[in-house]
Structure 1
Amino acid sequence: MNTSGHPGESAEIDVIVEVITANPGQLVAVEVPHREQVSELVTRLQSIYSYGFDINDGADVRLALGAAGSTLERALEHFATVMQLPYGAARTLWQFSEAVGERPSGYRSCVVVADAVDLLADEDDVIWRALADQLVGRPRCMGGGWDTLVFVDDRDSWTSSRFGSAANAERVAKTCLSSDEEEAMERELEMRYRVE
């Protein structure tokens, strides 16, 4: 159902849905014509991932708001709530990672982050990449579960963001942390968590 009133925009949403569903367990960054179309995107994903043909086709579709997580601490609180993780998952990145890893191996999810350019806006790219890495899970051979992460925003927001485009954001998010970056991040987070 096209809620925007522009027929071509509904077709764009169809293409975006195809890209997302063709890449289970991947990180995908996409542009929607207007931020208001995120709800249409989520509704379409929910209908596709609802348990239709057989129980193994289903996945939880969750909507997170990038603006709710401008810092790591706020993002962990928000994602722990959105993903219905135990309360302790909101405390540190390590506890969050542990809680995500403890979900059943057959669990499938698709987390859509609306207003994605606002996610971790007050943090550096290393923290942003580390959180994205925790939210994505390639298909698991034992159990068949996966976790897809979708960053979505409108073209103007992507263009004016630190990434310049959805494609660049996806590329940056998929770049593995070097051991030096990981060590520096761990030191920074240890200091941050000690202060709190």
Structure 2
Amino acid sequence: RTLEPAIGLVDFRTDPVKNPLSTPSGKIEIYSEQLAEIAATWELEEGDVINPIPVFTPGFQGYGSVTDEYPLYCTGFHHKSRTHSSFGFIPELEQVARQQLWINPADAESRGIASGDTVAVKSPAGEIRIEALVTPRIIPGTIGIPQGAWHKADMNGDRVDEGACVNTLTTYRPTPLAKGNGPAHSIIAQITKA
């Protein structure tokens, strides 16, 4: 089937005065007066910025924040056997879609890690144990951990999460504008063979 060409915002393009957009100015806004006002009046955490124009902002523990102690970027991703943490307790699903950390062969080799090894992942916020999956499907310098695993740690003891819950590694720090937990997918970490 062939799709007919479509013009986005055709009414606005044809007559912008008669068909204004739902923005404060009624026009396409590159500079947002609302965001400029928020940036000027809100009390923000140190290092937080709200920009009235689109700019790249790495965010807390984002691009450029790795250290010698935590040289890897870690991100959480949706797991194929769970909806967030729902269904995380079903052993049959865990058998067919195990909770595994993805690591690039270059990062795994330098750490002596092979697929199937149990690894320790540490961040400034916590530590987990998880099975490694060595794969070129993740870029070097980055590890990925499926989100939604259930936390299993002795919180009165060593606090190490044997359930491999990526949130154990996450520092809570709300984003400046939406107040969501930005670091949930922006974690600095180190991985070693457990």
TM-score range, shorter chain: under 0.3
Question: When the two structures are superposed, what TM-score results if normalisation uses the length of structure 1?
Answer: 0.25
- Higher normalized strand content (fraction of residues): 2
- Higher normalized helix content (fraction of residues): 1
Question: When the two structures are superposed, what TM-score results if normalisation uses the length of structure 2?
Answer: 0.26
